[in-house]
Every structure is written in C-alpha cells, then in structure tokens.
Amino acid sequence: MKLKPILLTMAFATVLAMGPSLSWAQESGLVKQTTSSGIEYVYGGVGEGPQNSMEAIRKDYNFRLTFARPHSGEYLADVKVTVENVKSHEKTIDVVSGGPLLYAQLPDGKYKVTAAFEGKEQIKTVTIHKNQPRGIVYYFAK
C-alpha cells in the first residue's frame, strides 16, 4: 500500500520535470524528433518567435534546409522532405516539414535530398563532413 503514493509522487515529479521542455516546444513552435535510425532533426520557423528559436539552435545541427519562394523570399511550410544516404540507400529522414526551416544532425556521408511542394519536386545532393555544416535552400515558384 505504501507503493501507490510513491508511484504517484514519482509520476507527478516526472510530469513537472517535463513541463518546462514541453512548454518551450509549444511556445517556440519547433518540433524536435528522432528517426528510427537515430537521426535527430527539428523543424519550425513560422513566425518571428519560432524563427528566433531556430536561429538559437542552428549551431547544434550540421545540415540545414530552407524552403522559400524565389524573388520574394516568402517562407514555405508543409514541404515533403526525404533524405537518403546515397551509399546505403537508407532513408534517414522522411517527413513533411511544418515550417520553412529544417535542421538535422547527420553522420558523415553523401545524401540525396528530395523536397516536394505543390506538386513540384527538386532533388539535390549534399556531402556531410565532420565539423562542416551544410545548408541547402529550395525555391518553389508559384
């Protein structure tokens, strides 16, 4: 009988401990995730606050994508992104980015990066080397 209060106390403490990180994620507008193969990525950047949050964590990721319209620079969200290791053909990321910025921490290697928006698809390749962050900008015209 003494275990129940202890378990409840532990559960409550866990929720309290998670609270600040959950509220940070909600307030920042960022979505941090880890793929089944262990690749950590985050997307967001809709609005000034989330853009500032993405800028603050930019240094923590070696691969950075930006989605925008040409000429106007208008940011785009809901872009389908697939990142595939060229050597192993493993899809390391397969997601619809909920914001114009997507950052990932990729192992060294060569990757095929596919971005699709409004029925248009663009494929680019990128090589990741240790301590050399890489960025790609995808422009989708109307």
Q: Say which residue, 133 or 37, is predicted with more confidence.
A: 133
Alpha carbon distances (Å) from 134 to 2, 65, 101, 103: 55, 9, 13, 10
Q: What is the pLDDT of residues 100-113, one digit of tens each?
A: 999 999 999 999 99
Rounded to whole angstroms, how far apart are CA atoms 32 and 100? 14
User: Structural domains in the chain?
Assistant: 29-139 (2.60.40.10)
Instruction: For the chain, give the mean pLDDT.
Output: 84
Q: Residue ranges of the alpha helices (H) in the chain?
A: 3-28, 48-57
- What pLDDT score does 24 carry? 42
Percentages of the chain per state (helix, strand, coil), in multiples of 5:
25, 45, 30
Q: What is the pLDDT of residues 13-30, one digit of tens each?
A: 333 333 333 334 445 567
Task: Say if residues 118 and 79 touch (Cβ distance below 8 Å).
Answer: no
- What pLDDT score does 27 carry? 53
